[in-house]
């Protein structure tokens, strides 16, 4: 829970400032980031009738995103509900700045540059060396297949595109609920993976291994895997986080994994949406982990943002809200690494209609980190590739 302060400043722009409450979050308050202010006047909404929208910053300086169950960008809600526009999964390219951007459907959807060739769902995309990688599930999902949410969540494979999303091939590498990975997502660094400290690619997933595949009762835990960026298509090369014994410990068998994150106070309602996303924030040298959570009586609406010095933490709390901005349908969020600069950023998020903030659509909103005096100075990383002007 948080103390909510509502500020009305000139021009009637509403700023929501969230200050962490040390007793209302699963981890102690961050010593680097003391809160976030959200500027609701910057809210943008488009791609009505589509959802999810994980993002990555690619080598061509564009943001690539994936949506599910709709017609993608430049479509109305009605168009997202009918053929030939509606697809199970589509890929789009975003150009421009957060305040003035355009989007093109490159794989499926309305006026797409290329036809979709498979369906399913995705909560993960990353650009590495000019190649796009997607976490997509289930593996068997022909074009147009919307793959009921539970089927899509419980099995994911790696998809690969060498032409900026125009075409994809799927590798057969599988991460599933028995491995502890439902609705998995990639950790994103800077442009085309710039700024990564090593050759590893990290994947976070909600551990729904306690679910039966129909109710998806989650355990409010997140699993972490890693693999060399040169071996993403080799399942035997994957390692799983298994806790720390003075240093981080990795094992080859997912059955020996340990959670990298636990929300012991959330509401893991049946069907709860807690798909994770993660980025590296180079300006202060911290990793940011986003994990949504359910609220009493609703499987969605809650937002937790956590920070840590490594991909495996240890985590502290930046923001924790059971009903973010008053929403009870908000269920997924991420920050495009191109859209974070200094202490300002834009968060992309989605939800289900009807909702005052997080509809069944693409949305983004500006936030500002309130940095504490102990945070590293903005711009301490001289090798960071500059993001866009926010």
For the stretch 48-65, pLDDT in tens is 999 999 999 999 999 999
Residue 390 to residue 385: CA distance in whole angstroms: 15
Higher pLDDT, 43 or 153: 43
CB 151 within 8 A of CB 138: yes
State whether residue 233 is helix, strand or coil.
Answer: coil
Tell whether the model's pLDDT for residue 219 goes beyond 60. no
pLDDT band at residue 382 under the 50/70/90 scheme: very low
For the stretch 252-293, pLDDT in tens is 999 999 999 998 776 655 456 678 999 999 999 999 999 998
Residue 292's DSSP bridge partners are 303
For the stretch 86-102, pLDDT in tens is 999 999 999 999 999 99
CB 53 within 8 A of CB 45: no
Give Cα separations from 109 to 56, 74, 82, 121, 168 (angstroms). 19, 9, 10, 14, 15
Q: What's the confidence (pLDDT) of residue 269?
A: 52
Length of the chain in residues, anyone?
Answer: 390
For residue 241 the two structure tokens come to: 């986080």
pLDDT band at residue 6 under the 50/70/90 scheme: very low
pLDDT band at residue 8 under the 50/70/90 scheme: very low
Q: What's the confidence (pLDDT) of residue 356?
A: 82
Residue 50 to residue 52: CA distance in whole angstroms: 7
For tokens 């028995």, what's the residue? 178
Tell whether the model's pLDDT for residue 385 goes beyond 80. no
Residue 227's DSSP bridge partners are 201
Please state, rounded to an integer, the average pLDDT across all residues of the chain.
Answer: 87
Residue 231 to residue 241: CA distance in whole angstroms: 17
For the stretch 126-150, pLDDT in tens is 999 999 999 999 988 889 888 765 6
Higher pLDDT, 168 or 356: 168
Q: What's the confidence (pLDDT) of residue 2?
A: 42
Q: Please tell me whether the peptide bond between 314 and the residue prior to it is cis, using omega within 30 degrees of 0.
A: yes
- Assessment of whether the complete model's pTM goes beyond 0.75: yes
Handedness of CA 305, 54, 176, 174 (dihedral sign): negative
CB 57 within 8 A of CB 338: yes
Residue 28 to residue 23: CA distance in whole angstroms: 8
Domains defined along the chain, listed by start: 41-371 (2.115.10)
Instruction: Name, in order, each residue with C-beta under 8 angstroms of 158's C-beta and a sequence gap of 6 or more.
Output: 133, 134, 135, 136, 170, 171, 173, 232, 233
Q: What's the DSSP call for residue 192? A: G
State whether residue 161 is helix, strand or coil.
Answer: strand
């Amino acid at each position: 829970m948080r103390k909510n302060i509502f500020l009305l400043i000139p021009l009637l722009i509403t700023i929501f400032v969230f200050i962490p409450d040390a007793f209302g979050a699963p981890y102690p308050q961050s010593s680097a980031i003391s809160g976030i202010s959200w500027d609701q006047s910057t809210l943008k909404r488009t791609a009505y009738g589509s959802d999810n929208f994980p993002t990555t910053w690619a080598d061509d300086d564009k943001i690539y995103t994936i949506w599910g169950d709709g017609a993608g960008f430049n479509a109305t809600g009605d168009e997202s509900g009918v053929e030939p526009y509606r697809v199970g999964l589509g890929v789009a390219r975003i150009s421009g700045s957060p305040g003035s951007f355009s989007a093109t459907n490159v794989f499926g959807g309305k006026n797409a540059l290329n036809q979709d060739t498979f369906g399913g769902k995705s909560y993960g995309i990353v650009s590495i060396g000019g190649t796009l990688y997607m976490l997509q599930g289930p593996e068997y999902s022909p074009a147009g297949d919307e793959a009921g949410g539970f089927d899509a969540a419980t099995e994911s494979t790696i998809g690969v595109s060498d032409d900026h999303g125009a075409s994809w091939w799927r590798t057969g590498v599988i991460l599933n609920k028995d491995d502890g990975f439902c609705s998995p997502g990639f950790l994103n660094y800077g442009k085309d993976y710039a700024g990564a400290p090593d050759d590893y690619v990290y994947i976070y997933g909600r551990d729904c291994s306690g679910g039966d595949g129909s109710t998806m009762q989650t355990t409010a835990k997140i699993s972490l895997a890693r693999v060399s960026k040169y071996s993403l298509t080799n399942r035997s090369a994957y390692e799983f986080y298994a806790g720390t014994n003075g240093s981080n410990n990795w094992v080859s068998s997912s059955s020996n994994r340990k959670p990298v994150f636990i929300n012991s106070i959330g509401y893991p309602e049946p069907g709860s949406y807690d798909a994770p996303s993660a980025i590296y924030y180079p300006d202060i040298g911290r990793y940011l982990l986003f994990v949504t959570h359910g609220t009493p009586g609703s499987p969605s609406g809650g937002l937790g943002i956590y920070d840590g010095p490594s991909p495996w933490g240890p985590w502290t709390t930046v923001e924790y809200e059971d009903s973010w901005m008053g929403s009870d349908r908000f269920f997924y969020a991420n920050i495009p690494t191109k859209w974070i600069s200094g202490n300002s950023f834009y968060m992309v998020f989605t939800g289900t209609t009807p909702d005052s903030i997080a509809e069944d659509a693409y949305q983004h909103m500006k936030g500002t980190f309130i940095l504490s005096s102990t945070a590293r100075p903005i711009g301490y990383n001289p090798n960071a590739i500059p993001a866009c002007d926010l």
